[in-house]
Amino acid sequence: MKFKSKIFSMLMIAALGAFSLFFTNCSGDKTNADNQLEDTLSINDEFNKAKQVIYGIPSPIETAMLMKRAGAKFNQDYLNPLSNLTNYTTTRNMALNLGVYSADLSFASMFDQSQLSIKYLSATKKLADDLGILNAIDKSIITRMENNINNRDSVMEIISETFMNSNMFLKENDRGEIAAIILTGGWLEGLYIGVQIVKNTAQNKELMERIADQRLSLNTLISLLGEYKNDANVQAILPHMERLKKVFDKIQASSSKMEVVEKDGKNIITSTSEIKFTPEVFEELAAVITEIRSNIIK
Amino acid sequence: MKKIFVSAIIVIMAIAVSNVASAQCKNFAKKICKLELLPYVHDGIYNATVLSEGETAELYKTFYAGQEYRVTVCGDENLPPIQFQVLDAERNVLYDNKKHNYAKSWDFKLQSSKQLIISIQVQTSDELNDQILSGCVAVLVGFMNIENTFNQNK
């Protein structure tokens, strides 16, 4: 009887734990749903009935690809030196710089910097390990990277996989705010590298346009961070993003209605847009992103 | 007393099932849905969730000029078809997979960079069934790895 009662007590504790976990998740969903509604309204003044709103931020791989397409040239000086790796000891610094190093890794790989890519992959592994992101980047991935280092498609695939592993792990373990901070670090580094390339090379209209386009992603990024506005680390980052937004808001843009046309078997979403991105606004943006980035990597 | 005991067991089972569903969703996105993106390179962002029939989700994302994209939406095989629409910021429909036999993917490129909305809805089942079907739905974005064709001014 005593034994039965003990089992029953244990089951009750387990059940209470399960109940509390269940209700924590439910209230989390409710909070998210409320935030999503606010954020959705800020994006689009229309009531949104979607059960879930997902904010798609450009991953470091996509940003590196955009820069490459726009004619960027590689320069190692733009990257966060690996010697800074040991400076990152707080969760916020580790998460932001995991994003920074992921962007640097993508940039180096996109420009076929084999040995450097492996070094940056090792740096991202250390930060992922320190953040408790289990098995996102294990030894076998580094070996695969070494074995395929001359095949850019395989290297991009490996980087995409490591990014997805980290992303999945954090979301599945209710650490979405860390995933959002990592994306923020990666996005900031991509913007910083883009700005440095523009500053140090001859005029590149396409790259300037891609930098101006980042105003669209910044709005989405702020909405994503807004989902975790009660998190102290996110609270520390949001004012910097708002500061950047103030500069981006000085870019004047207008565009025509979108239409889909088929050309050579491809679907093209047509729409013309006019962007007024003055050298003064670019200089201001360059100064702000450089200051924010140097505070992150120090 | 017996009722409480049974309730406790049910709750524990429910939590266990939910965890299994979550792990299955992860594997589904990674091992099945990601293959639909080929030969496009996955951007590395994991967007997957468990949805029931009739439920919706929306992805807000900026797509960049000149880049060739593939959006893939796939659902668990037990689910009814998944409808997805690509909308502009004013919610005008640019693409609806329902008109294309619920195709899983749509490839496109843009003349100028835009924020688009990928709106997903699990259709309701036609079969008479007391149980509401639910399962994993993943939305993945890939881009074409094309060599640089832009002539930079030197």
Interchain contact, B44 vs A69, CB within 8 Å: no
- Of A1-15, A117-131, A146-160, A239-253, where does mean pLDDT reach its minimum? A1-15
Please tell me the distance from the alpha carbon of residue A154 to that of residue B74, in angstroms, as a whole number: 24
The 10s digit of each residue's pLDDT in B8-50 is 555 454 444 445 555 667 788 888 898 999 999 898 888 888 8
Looking at per-residue pLDDT, the higher value among B21 and A43 belongs to B21
B152 CA: distance to closest CA in chain A (Å)? 6
* Main-chain phi, psi angles of A135, to 5 degrees: 60, 15
Name residues of chain B where pLDDT drops below 50. Answer: 11, 13-18, 148-154
Interchain contact, A51 vs B55, CB within 8 Å: yes
Looking at per-residue pLDDT, the higher value among B31 and A295 belongs to A295
Residues of B in contact with A56 (CB under 8 A): 45, 47, 59-62, 141
pLDDT of amino acid A12: 47
> Where are the strands (E) in A87-182, listed by range?
none
Query: Is A152 in the B-facing interface, judged by CB distances under 8 Å?
Result: yes
pLDDT of amino acid A43: 42
Residues of A in contact with B26 (CB under 8 A): 168, 172
User: If you average pLDDT over residues A76-101, what whole number do you get?
Assistant: 96
pLDDT of amino acid A234: 97
Mean pLDDT, all residues of chain A: 82
Query: Is A7 in the B-facing interface, judged by CB distances under 8 Å?
Result: no
Confidence of residue A48 (pLDDT cuts 50, 70, 90): very low
pLDDT of amino acid A54: 87
Token pair for A214: 């980042």
ipTM of predicted complex: 0.79
To the question of pTM greater than 0.90 for the whole model, the response is: no
Query: Is B146 in the A-facing interface, judged by CB distances under 8 Å?
Result: yes
Domain ranges of chain A: 60-297
pLDDT of amino acid B9: 54
Query: Is B150 in the A-facing interface, judged by CB distances under 8 Å?
Result: yes
List the 22-81 stretch of B: residues with Cβ below 8 A of A: 22-23, 26, 29-30, 34, 41-47, 49, 51, 55-62, 64-68
pLDDT of amino acid B146: 67
pLDDT of amino acid A39: 34
pLDDT of amino acid B128: 66
pLDDT of amino acid A167: 81
**Other CB atoms within 10 Å distance of the CB of residue B23:** 11
Please tell me the distance from the alpha carbon of residue B95 to that of residue B139, in angstroms, as a whole number: 15
Interchain contact, B14 vs A69, CB within 8 Å: no
| Domain architecture of chain B: domains with CATH | 2-143 (2.60.120.380)
Confidence of residue A165 (pLDDT cuts 50, 70, 90): confident
Contact B108, B43 (CB under 8 A): no
pLDDT of amino acid A279: 93
pLDDT of amino acid B45: 87
Q: Is residue B31 classed as helix, strand or coil in its secondary structure?
A: helix
As a whole number of Å, the end-to-end CA separation of chain A is: 63
Confidence of residue A200 (pLDDT cuts 50, 70, 90): confident
Interchain contact, A56 vs B62, CB within 8 Å: yes
User: If you average pLDDT over residues A49-69, what whole number do you get?
Assistant: 83
> DSSP characters for B65-125?
BT-EEEEEEEE-TTSPPEEEEEE-TT--EEEEGGGGTT-SEEEEEESS-EEEEEEEEEPPP
Looking at per-residue pLDDT, the higher value among A282 and A148 belongs to A282
- Of A35-44, A161-170, A208-217, A263-272, where does mean pLDDT reach its minimum? A35-44
pLDDT of amino acid B87: 96
Query: Is A210 in the B-facing interface, judged by CB distances under 8 Å?
Result: yes
Query: Is A41 in the B-facing interface, judged by CB distances under 8 Å?
Result: no
User: If you average pLDDT over residues A121-130, what whole number do you get?
Assistant: 92
pLDDT at A36 over 80: no
pLDDT of amino acid A26: 29
